[in-house]
Structure 1
Protein backbone atom coordinates (compact mmCIF):
# COMPACT_ATOMS: atom_id res chain seq x y z
CA UNK A 1 0.00 0.00 0.00
CA UNK A 2 1.38 3.40 -0.94
CA UNK A 3 1.22 6.48 1.22
CA UNK A 4 -1.73 8.02 -0.63
CA UNK A 5 -3.91 4.89 -0.21
CA UNK A 6 -2.94 4.62 3.41
CA UNK A 7 -3.93 8.21 3.93
CA UNK A 8 -7.34 7.67 2.40
CA UNK A 9 -7.99 4.66 4.64
CA UNK A 10 -6.87 6.55 7.69
CA UNK A 11 -9.14 9.43 6.67
CA UNK A 12 -12.06 6.99 6.22
CA UNK A 13 -11.38 5.32 9.54
CA UNK A 14 -11.09 8.65 11.27
CA UNK A 15 -14.46 9.70 9.86
CA UNK A 16 -16.21 6.39 10.78
CA UNK A 17 -14.59 6.22 14.16
CA UNK A 18 -15.82 9.69 14.91
CA UNK A 19 -19.43 8.70 14.14
CA UNK A 20 -19.51 5.09 15.30
CA UNK A 21 -17.22 5.12 18.31
CA UNK A 22 -16.15 8.41 19.81
CA UNK A 23 -19.28 10.49 19.62
CA UNK A 24 -21.70 7.74 20.80
CA UNK A 25 -24.31 9.18 18.42
CA UNK A 26 -27.83 7.61 18.56
CA UNK A 27 -29.38 7.21 15.12
CA UNK A 28 -33.06 7.95 14.69
CA UNK A 29 -35.73 7.22 12.10
CA UNK A 30 -39.21 8.52 12.97
CA UNK A 31 -38.60 8.17 16.64
CA UNK A 32 -36.61 4.87 16.53
CA UNK A 33 -33.35 5.30 18.39
CA UNK A 34 -30.30 3.08 17.83
CA UNK A 35 -26.83 3.13 19.34
CA UNK A 36 -24.09 1.01 17.65
CA UNK A 37 -23.29 -2.03 19.80
CA UNK A 38 -20.15 -1.98 21.86
CA UNK A 39 -18.61 -4.87 19.85
CA UNK A 40 -19.01 -2.94 16.60
CA UNK A 41 -17.50 0.14 18.16
CA UNK A 42 -14.48 -1.78 19.39
CA UNK A 43 -14.06 -3.69 16.11
CA UNK A 44 -14.17 -0.46 14.14
CA UNK A 45 -11.52 1.02 16.41
CA UNK A 46 -9.13 -1.87 15.85
CA UNK A 47 -9.70 -1.84 12.12
CA UNK A 48 -8.94 1.82 11.84
CA UNK A 49 -5.75 1.45 13.83
CA UNK A 50 -4.27 -0.74 11.09
CA UNK A 51 -4.18 -4.01 12.99
CA UNK A 52 -5.62 -5.96 9.97
CA UNK A 53 -5.21 -5.66 6.18
CA UNK A 54 -7.09 -2.93 4.37
CA UNK A 55 -9.41 -5.39 2.55
CA UNK A 56 -10.59 -6.84 5.85
CA UNK A 57 -10.98 -3.36 7.25
CA UNK A 58 -13.27 -2.41 4.38
CA UNK A 59 -15.19 -5.72 4.72
CA UNK A 60 -15.91 -5.23 8.40
CA UNK A 61 -16.86 -1.60 7.92
CA UNK A 62 -19.27 -2.61 5.14
CA UNK A 63 -20.75 -5.40 7.29
CA UNK A 64 -21.25 -2.95 10.14
CA UNK A 65 -23.06 -0.55 7.86
CA UNK A 66 -25.34 -3.32 6.52
CA UNK A 67 -26.26 -4.46 10.06
CA UNK A 68 -26.99 -0.89 11.08
CA UNK A 69 -29.19 -0.39 8.02
CA UNK A 70 -31.12 -3.63 8.71
CA UNK A 71 -31.85 -2.61 12.29
CA UNK A 72 -33.02 0.82 11.20
CA UNK A 73 -35.29 -0.62 8.48
CA UNK A 74 -36.84 -3.08 10.98
CA UNK A 75 -37.53 -0.28 13.43
CA UNK A 76 -39.10 1.83 10.72
CA UNK A 77 -41.34 -1.06 9.63
CA UNK A 78 -42.48 -1.60 13.22
CA UNK A 79 -43.40 2.06 13.57
CA UNK A 80 -45.23 1.96 10.25
CA UNK A 81 -47.65 -0.69 11.53
CA UNK A 82 -49.38 2.03 13.54
CA UNK A 83 -49.48 0.01 16.75
CA UNK A 84 -47.33 0.12 19.85
CA UNK A 85 -47.29 -2.22 22.88
CA UNK A 86 -49.09 0.46 24.88
CA UNK A 87 -51.84 0.79 22.29
CA UNK A 88 -52.23 -3.00 22.11
CA UNK A 89 -52.57 -3.19 25.91
CA UNK A 90 -55.20 -0.43 25.98
CA UNK A 91 -57.10 -2.18 23.20
CA UNK A 92 -57.08 -5.49 25.12
CA UNK A 93 -58.38 -3.83 28.29
CA UNK A 94 -61.14 -2.10 26.34
CA UNK A 95 -62.18 -5.41 24.75
CA UNK A 96 -62.28 -7.16 28.16
CA UNK A 97 -64.41 -4.40 29.68
CA UNK A 98 -66.75 -4.59 26.73
CA UNK A 99 -67.19 -8.35 27.17
CA UNK A 100 -67.90 -7.97 30.91
CA UNK A 101 -70.51 -5.30 30.22
CA UNK A 102 -72.15 -7.52 27.61
CA UNK A 103 -72.35 -10.40 30.13
CA UNK A 104 -73.97 -8.15 32.76
CA UNK A 105 -76.53 -6.93 30.26
CA UNK A 106 -77.34 -10.53 29.30
CA UNK A 107 -77.87 -11.58 32.95
CA UNK A 108 -80.05 -8.52 33.62
CA UNK A 109 -82.16 -9.30 30.56
CA UNK A 110 -82.64 -12.93 31.65
CA UNK A 111 -83.64 -11.85 35.18
CA UNK A 112 -86.14 -9.38 33.75
CA UNK A 113 -87.70 -12.17 31.70
CA UNK A 114 -87.91 -14.47 34.75
CA UNK A 115 -89.40 -11.85 37.08
CA UNK A 116 -93.05 -12.32 35.97
CA UNK A 117 -92.70 -16.09 36.48
CA UNK A 118 -91.14 -15.63 39.93
CA UNK A 119 -94.00 -13.36 40.96
CA UNK A 120 -96.44 -16.17 40.19
CA UNK A 121 -94.59 -18.69 42.36
CA UNK A 122 -96.23 -19.51 45.68
CA UNK A 123 -94.89 -21.22 48.79
CA UNK A 124 -97.59 -22.05 51.35
CA UNK A 125 -94.94 -21.99 54.11
CA UNK A 126 -91.79 -19.99 54.73
CA UNK A 127 -88.49 -21.62 53.74
CA UNK A 128 -87.63 -22.76 57.30
CA UNK A 129 -91.15 -24.07 58.05
CA UNK A 130 -92.55 -27.54 57.28
CA UNK A 131 -95.88 -28.13 55.52
CA UNK A 132 -98.19 -30.88 56.78
CA UNK A 133 -101.89 -31.30 56.02
CA UNK A 134 -102.57 -27.63 55.31
CA UNK A 135 -100.53 -26.24 58.23
CA UNK A 136 -97.02 -24.89 58.61
CA UNK A 137 -94.79 -25.98 61.51
CA UNK A 138 -91.63 -24.36 62.83
CA UNK A 139 -89.17 -26.36 64.95
CA UNK A 140 -87.00 -23.99 66.98
CA UNK A 141 -83.21 -23.94 66.70
CA UNK A 142 -82.62 -23.11 70.38
CA UNK A 143 -84.31 -23.69 73.76
CA UNK A 144 -86.31 -21.49 76.11
CA UNK A 145 -89.03 -21.83 78.77
CA UNK A 146 -92.69 -22.53 78.02
CA UNK A 147 -93.93 -18.93 78.44
CA UNK A 148 -91.22 -17.49 76.19
CA UNK A 149 -92.00 -20.17 73.62
CA UNK A 150 -95.66 -19.06 73.59
CA UNK A 151 -94.52 -15.47 72.99
CA UNK A 152 -92.05 -16.45 70.26
CA UNK A 153 -94.78 -18.17 68.26
CA UNK A 154 -97.16 -15.23 68.62
CA UNK A 155 -94.51 -12.84 67.34
CA UNK A 156 -94.43 -14.68 64.01
CA UNK A 157 -98.20 -14.90 63.68
CA UNK A 158 -98.40 -18.50 64.91
CA UNK A 159 -99.29 -20.45 68.06
CA UNK A 160 -97.46 -22.95 70.23
CA UNK A 161 -98.74 -26.13 68.63
CA UNK A 162 -102.27 -27.33 69.41
CA UNK A 163 -102.86 -30.90 68.22
CA UNK A 164 -106.12 -31.67 66.43
CA UNK A 165 -105.69 -35.17 64.99
CA UNK A 166 -103.93 -38.47 65.44
CA UNK A 167 -102.06 -37.97 62.17
CA UNK A 168 -100.79 -34.60 63.33
CA UNK A 169 -99.72 -36.11 66.66
CA UNK A 170 -97.77 -38.88 64.91
CA UNK A 171 -96.03 -36.37 62.62
CA UNK A 172 -95.03 -34.04 65.49
CA UNK A 173 -93.93 -36.88 67.77
CA UNK A 174 -91.58 -38.20 65.11
CA UNK A 175 -90.13 -34.74 64.39
CA UNK A 176 -89.52 -34.08 68.09
CA UNK A 177 -87.69 -37.41 68.45
CA UNK A 178 -85.29 -36.26 65.71
CA UNK A 179 -84.77 -32.71 67.01
CA UNK A 180 -85.17 -32.97 70.81
CA UNK A 181 -87.75 -32.56 73.59
CA UNK A 182 -90.12 -29.75 72.62
CA UNK A 183 -92.93 -27.73 74.21
CA UNK A 184 -96.51 -27.97 72.94
CA UNK A 185 -99.41 -25.58 73.70
CA UNK A 186 -100.88 -27.67 76.50
CA UNK A 187 -100.89 -26.90 80.27
CA UNK A 188 -102.87 -27.13 83.51
CA UNK A 189 -101.76 -23.70 84.76
CA UNK A 190 -105.35 -22.51 85.27
CA UNK A 191 -106.67 -25.58 87.09
CA UNK A 192 -104.52 -28.39 88.43
CA UNK A 193 -105.04 -31.66 86.57
CA UNK A 194 -107.36 -29.95 84.09
CA UNK A 195 -105.36 -29.74 80.86
CA UNK A 196 -106.25 -27.09 78.31
CA UNK A 197 -104.82 -26.12 74.94
CA UNK A 198 -103.79 -22.52 74.26
CA UNK A 199 -106.87 -22.03 72.06
CA UNK A 200 -109.03 -22.70 75.17
CA UNK A 201 -110.18 -26.19 74.20
CA UNK A 202 -110.09 -29.10 76.66
CA UNK A 203 -107.81 -32.07 76.16
CA UNK A 204 -110.01 -34.79 74.66
CA UNK A 205 -110.22 -38.11 76.41
CA UNK A 206 -109.14 -39.82 73.17
CA UNK A 207 -105.81 -38.01 73.38
CA UNK A 208 -105.04 -39.20 76.92
CA UNK A 209 -103.38 -42.28 75.38
CA UNK A 210 -100.44 -40.14 74.27
CA UNK A 211 -99.14 -39.56 77.81
CA UNK A 212 -96.09 -41.63 78.63
CA UNK A 213 -96.64 -44.32 81.24
CA UNK A 214 -97.21 -42.76 84.69
CA UNK A 215 -97.73 -39.27 83.25
CA UNK A 216 -98.86 -36.65 83.99
CA UNK A 217 -97.67 -37.01 87.59
CA UNK A 218 -97.27 -33.33 88.53
CA UNK A 219 -93.98 -34.06 90.28
CA UNK A 220 -92.57 -30.70 91.37
CA UNK A 221 -95.12 -28.32 89.88
CA UNK A 222 -95.05 -29.80 86.39
CA UNK A 223 -97.74 -27.78 84.67
CA UNK A 224 -96.62 -27.71 81.01
CA UNK A 225 -96.64 -30.52 78.43
CA UNK A 226 -93.75 -31.56 76.20
CA UNK A 227 -92.99 -34.11 73.50
CA UNK A 228 -90.62 -36.67 75.03
CA UNK A 229 -89.49 -39.94 73.44
CA UNK A 230 -92.62 -41.76 72.20
CA UNK A 231 -95.26 -39.67 73.98
CA UNK A 232 -96.07 -36.71 76.21
CA UNK A 233 -94.67 -35.67 79.56
CA UNK A 234 -95.52 -32.93 82.06
CA UNK A 235 -92.56 -30.75 83.09
CA UNK A 236 -91.83 -27.50 85.00
CA UNK A 237 -92.74 -24.57 82.75
CA UNK A 238 -89.51 -22.74 83.65
CA UNK A 239 -87.30 -25.46 82.13
CA UNK A 240 -85.80 -24.55 78.74
CA UNK A 241 -86.68 -26.79 75.81
CA UNK A 242 -87.20 -26.56 72.07
CA UNK A 243 -90.66 -25.54 70.90
CA UNK A 244 -92.96 -26.01 67.91
CA UNK A 245 -95.04 -23.24 66.31
CA UNK A 246 -98.07 -23.85 64.09
CA UNK A 247 -100.08 -21.71 61.69
CA UNK A 248 -102.30 -22.19 58.68
CA UNK A 249 -100.61 -22.51 55.29
CA UNK A 250 -101.07 -19.69 52.81
CA UNK A 251 -103.34 -20.28 49.84
CA UNK A 252 -101.99 -19.81 46.33
CA UNK A 253 -104.53 -18.12 44.07
CA UNK A 254 -104.31 -18.42 40.29
CA UNK A 255 -104.75 -15.32 38.17
Structure 2
Protein backbone atom coordinates (compact mmCIF):
# COMPACT_ATOMS: atom_id res chain seq x y z
CA UNK A 1 0.00 0.00 0.00
CA UNK A 2 1.38 3.41 -1.02
CA UNK A 3 0.20 6.54 0.73
CA UNK A 4 1.11 9.94 -0.62
CA UNK A 5 1.03 12.73 1.90
CA UNK A 6 0.34 16.04 0.22
CA UNK A 7 -0.14 18.19 3.33
CA UNK A 8 0.01 18.04 7.07
CA UNK A 9 -2.61 20.18 8.71
CA UNK A 10 -2.27 22.17 11.90
CA UNK A 11 -4.45 24.96 13.29
CA UNK A 12 -1.46 27.34 13.49
CA UNK A 13 1.71 28.03 11.52
CA UNK A 14 4.99 26.57 12.74
CA UNK A 15 6.34 28.52 15.72
CA UNK A 16 2.88 29.59 16.90
CA UNK A 17 0.96 28.14 19.86
CA UNK A 18 -2.69 27.15 19.62
CA UNK A 19 -5.29 27.91 22.30
CA UNK A 20 -9.04 27.72 21.76
CA UNK A 21 -9.76 29.50 18.45
CA UNK A 22 -6.52 31.51 18.23
CA UNK A 23 -2.86 31.16 17.36
CA UNK A 24 -0.26 33.03 19.41
CA UNK A 25 3.24 34.07 18.46
CA UNK A 26 5.49 34.91 21.40
CA UNK A 27 8.09 37.22 19.90
CA UNK A 28 11.41 37.35 21.70
CA UNK A 29 12.71 40.37 19.79
CA UNK A 30 12.43 43.67 21.66
CA UNK A 31 10.46 46.48 20.02
CA UNK A 32 8.50 49.58 21.00
CA UNK A 33 4.72 49.20 21.31
CA UNK A 34 4.10 50.81 17.90
CA UNK A 35 6.80 48.67 16.24
CA UNK A 36 5.22 45.61 17.87
CA UNK A 37 1.83 46.55 16.39
CA UNK A 38 3.49 46.74 12.95
CA UNK A 39 5.42 43.48 13.46
CA UNK A 40 2.21 41.63 14.29
CA UNK A 41 0.45 43.15 11.28
CA UNK A 42 3.32 41.90 9.08
CA UNK A 43 2.47 38.42 10.37
CA UNK A 44 -1.20 38.98 9.43
CA UNK A 45 -2.00 39.16 13.15
CA UNK A 46 -2.45 41.79 15.85
CA UNK A 47 -1.05 42.44 19.29
CA UNK A 48 -2.95 40.11 21.59
CA UNK A 49 -6.44 41.07 22.74
CA UNK A 50 -7.36 39.26 25.96
CA UNK A 51 -11.05 38.37 25.99
CA UNK A 52 -11.45 35.80 28.76
CA UNK A 53 -10.08 34.49 32.03
CA UNK A 54 -9.13 31.26 30.26
CA UNK A 55 -7.06 33.19 27.72
CA UNK A 56 -5.44 35.17 30.54
CA UNK A 57 -4.48 31.91 32.32
CA UNK A 58 -3.01 30.52 29.08
CA UNK A 59 -0.88 33.64 28.61
CA UNK A 60 0.06 33.75 32.29
CA UNK A 61 1.41 30.18 32.07
CA UNK A 62 3.72 31.30 29.23
CA UNK A 63 4.80 34.39 31.20
CA UNK A 64 5.62 32.33 34.31
CA UNK A 65 7.84 30.03 32.22
CA UNK A 66 9.60 32.82 30.32
CA UNK A 67 9.64 35.75 32.76
CA UNK A 68 9.46 38.36 29.99
CA UNK A 69 7.66 41.67 30.00
CA UNK A 70 5.58 41.65 26.83
CA UNK A 71 3.41 44.16 25.04
CA UNK A 72 -0.29 43.43 24.70
CA UNK A 73 -2.64 45.22 22.30
CA UNK A 74 -4.02 47.73 24.80
CA UNK A 75 -3.36 51.47 25.13
CA UNK A 76 -4.88 54.78 26.20
CA UNK A 77 -2.77 56.86 23.80
CA UNK A 78 -5.76 58.59 22.20
CA UNK A 79 -7.52 59.62 25.42
CA UNK A 80 -5.90 59.35 28.85
CA UNK A 81 -7.66 56.78 31.03
CA UNK A 82 -9.77 55.40 28.17
CA UNK A 83 -8.15 52.06 27.38
CA UNK A 84 -8.83 50.49 23.99
CA UNK A 85 -7.59 47.39 22.20
CA UNK A 86 -5.76 47.63 18.87
CA UNK A 87 -8.99 46.72 17.06
CA UNK A 88 -10.69 49.78 18.60
CA UNK A 89 -12.85 47.95 21.13
CA UNK A 90 -12.95 49.43 24.64
CA UNK A 91 -11.46 47.52 27.56
CA UNK A 92 -14.10 45.59 29.50
CA UNK A 93 -12.45 42.61 31.20
CA UNK A 94 -9.13 43.54 32.81
CA UNK A 95 -6.31 41.93 34.76
CA UNK A 96 -4.33 44.94 36.02
CA UNK A 97 -1.80 44.46 38.78
CA UNK A 98 -2.78 46.10 42.05
CA UNK A 99 -2.43 49.88 41.78
CA UNK A 100 -2.35 49.82 37.98
CA UNK A 101 -2.77 51.55 35.67
CA UNK A 102 -1.02 54.40 37.47
CA UNK A 103 0.12 56.55 34.51
CA UNK A 104 3.51 57.38 36.03
CA UNK A 105 5.38 59.55 33.49
CA UNK A 106 2.61 59.30 30.88
CA UNK A 107 2.49 55.50 30.59
CA UNK A 108 0.01 54.81 27.78
CA UNK A 109 0.70 51.24 26.63
CA UNK A 110 -0.05 47.99 28.43
CA UNK A 111 2.46 45.26 29.12
CA UNK A 112 1.99 41.81 30.54
CA UNK A 113 4.15 40.56 33.37
CA UNK A 114 3.75 37.35 35.40
CA UNK A 115 1.08 38.50 37.82
CA UNK A 116 -0.96 40.81 35.59
CA UNK A 117 -0.94 43.97 33.50
CA UNK A 118 1.01 47.18 33.95
CA UNK A 119 0.92 50.47 32.07
CA UNK A 120 4.30 51.36 30.62
CA UNK A 121 6.04 53.92 28.44
CA UNK A 122 5.27 53.09 24.81
CA UNK A 123 8.78 53.88 23.55
CA UNK A 124 10.41 51.17 25.70
CA UNK A 125 11.44 48.00 23.88
CA UNK A 126 9.85 44.75 25.02
CA UNK A 127 8.85 41.40 23.57
CA UNK A 128 5.28 41.07 22.30
CA UNK A 129 2.49 38.56 21.82
CA UNK A 130 0.75 38.42 18.43
CA UNK A 131 -2.62 36.74 17.95
CA UNK A 132 -4.61 35.61 14.93
CA UNK A 133 -7.51 33.26 14.33
CA UNK A 134 -6.67 29.60 13.97
CA UNK A 135 -7.74 27.76 10.85
CA UNK A 136 -8.64 24.17 10.10
CA UNK A 137 -5.52 23.63 8.01
CA UNK A 138 -2.18 25.45 7.89
CA UNK A 139 0.64 23.92 5.85
CA UNK A 140 3.74 23.11 7.86
Give the TM-score normalised by the residue count of structure 2: 0.91
What's 1:163 paired with? 50
Indicate whether 1:178 and 2:44 are aligned: no
1:134 aligns with 2:21: yes
Equivalent position of 1:188 in the other structure: 76
Q: CA deviation at 1:221?
A: 1.0
Superposed CA offset, 1:207-227 (max 9, x none): 23x111110000011000011
In structure 2, the gaps of 5 or more residues are none
Partner of 1:145: 32
Q: CA deviation at 1:120?
A: 3.8
Output the CA distance in 2 between the equivalents of 1:169 and 1:215: 17
- Give 1 or 2: higher strand fraction: 2
Is 1:222 the equivalent of 2:107?
A: yes
Higher helix proportion (structure 1 or 2)? 1
Between the aligned partners of 2:63 and 2:53, the Cα distance in structure 1 is 15
Unaligned runs of 5+ in 1: 1-112
Q: State the Cα deviation string for residues 9-56 of structure 1 (Å, max 9, x = none).
A: xxxxxxxxxxxxxxxxxxxxxxxxxxxxxxxxxxxxxxxxxxxxxxxx
Larger radius of gyration: 1
Secondary structure in 1 matching 2:41: helix
Once the two structures are TM-superposed, the CA of residue 121 in structure 1 deviates from its matched residue by 2.0
Higher RCO (C-alpha 8 Å, min separation 6) = 2
What is the number of equivalent residue pairs in this alignment? 136
- After TM superposition, which residue ranges in structure 1, 4 or more long, deviate above 4 angstroms? none
The 5 A counterparts of 1:1-255 are: 116-117=4-5, 119-179=6-66, 180-204=68-92, 207-208=93-94, 210-252=95-137
Question: In 2, Cα distance between the equivalents of 1:234 and 1:174?
Answer: 20
2: CA distance, partners of 1:158 / 1:176: 20
Distance in 1 separating the partners of 2:122 and 2:64? 20
CA positional deviation for 1:169: 1.0
Q: RMSD of the alignment, in Å?
A: 1.5
Which residue in the other structure is 1:25 paired with? none
List per-residue Cα deviations over 1:151-192 (Å, max 9, x = no partner).
000001000001111100111122123221100000000100
